[in-house]
Amino acid sequence: MSVQFVINAKLLKTIVKAVENINEECIWTFDSSGLLIRMSDVYRHKMIEMFIAAEDFDSYTCTGAYDLGIVIDRIKDVSKTLAIKDTLRFNYDDSSTQVRLDSNGLSRVVKLIDIKMVGLVPYLNLDFDYVVGFDSKALKNFLKASSKCVDFNVVVELTKFMVRSETDEGIAEASWDVEVESPSITNYSTDAMSKATATMSGPINVRGSQDGVLEVEWNLLTNTTIKALIAPRI
């Protein structure tokens, strides 16, 4: 019983970046459909849920179901040696407490950690009052302009979705058209949002509610998705 896959360097580096912005330890859950990573920071202020479908690996075989405790820095140490066009082979069998990583003629052994030391993050079944879709570029620019601000507001009116912060240079704001039934205004941490959405690109869907969790979802590849969830500031 084992897990074996080959992954291109670009996708691996994106996974590492997404994970390290949340926590240094996480659980990788494998089954025949692919790899699921669901993790949060220590204080549960931010969380990501990432699913990499089997079809989006260069090759993928999983003969069972496994939860593996990963220290992301140990994977990052390997990913840093890879050029964008390189690939990495991941090998694990259920008789071992290690995984083997092969790339560019070199083999490295990475020790796993006890998943009891990490803890599985449960799936969150959330209710949202609104959903709005748009390209992520303007939101990324807003977060960059607001990087020195502790927080920002998500303001939802009947026909408009806005993000707004007060910077030393004045008010930073971006807005999109949307139709909702319940207007709201909720405050979030700029740092938490920036880190949770560090790998955001292309079209995104944003969901939320008054004083509720803000969810941002996007696709990395055809069948590979990331959800970033940010708790409201209290």
pLDDT at 169: 79
- The answer to whether residue 182 scores a pLDDT higher than 90 is no
CA separation for the pair 12, 29 (Å, rounded): 16
pLDDT at 226: 97
Assign a CATH topology to domain 2-117: Proliferating Cell Nuclear Antigen (3.70.10)
With cut-offs at 50, 70 and 90, classify the pLDDT of residue 178: confident
pLDDT in tens, 200-232: 999 999 999 999 999 999 999 989 999 999 999
CA separation for the pair 26, 18 (Å, rounded): 12
pLDDT in tens, 115-125: 988 888 888 88
- The answer to whether residue 2 scores a pLDDT higher than 90 is yes
Angle ∠(30,33,34) on CA atoms, nearest 5: 45
pLDDT at 149: 95
Q: List the chain domain ranges.
A: 2-117, 130-218
pLDDT at 198: 96
CA separation for the pair 220, 200 (Å, rounded): 8
Amino acid present at 31: D
CA separation for the pair 87, 154 (Å, rounded): 40
- The answer to whether residue 181 scores a pLDDT higher than 90 is no
pLDDT in tens, 50-93: 999 999 999 999 999 999 999 999 999 999 999 999 999 999 99
pLDDT at 1: 72
Is the CB of residue 88 less than 8 Å from the CB of residue 78?
A: yes
- The answer to whether residue 11 scores a pLDDT higher than 90 is yes
Query: Tokens 């938490």, residue?
Result: 192
Q: What is the CATH number of domain 130-218?
A: 3.10.150.10
Amino acid present at 149: C
Amino acid present at 211: D
More confident residue, 167 or 187: 187
Q: What is the dihedral of CA 24, 30, 34, 39, to 10 degrees?
A: -30
* Helix extents (H) in 129-185: 137-145
Question: What does the mean pLDDT of the chain come to?
Answer: 94
2-117 and 130-218 share one fold: no
Q: Taking the complete model, does pTM exceed 0.95, yes or no? A: no
HEC per residue, 50-79: EEEEHHHCCEEEECCCEEEEEEHHHHHHHH
Rounded alpha-carbon distances, angstroms, from residue 3 to 30, 35, 95, 143, 210: 8, 10, 12, 38, 42
pLDDT in tens, 35-49: 999 999 999 999 999
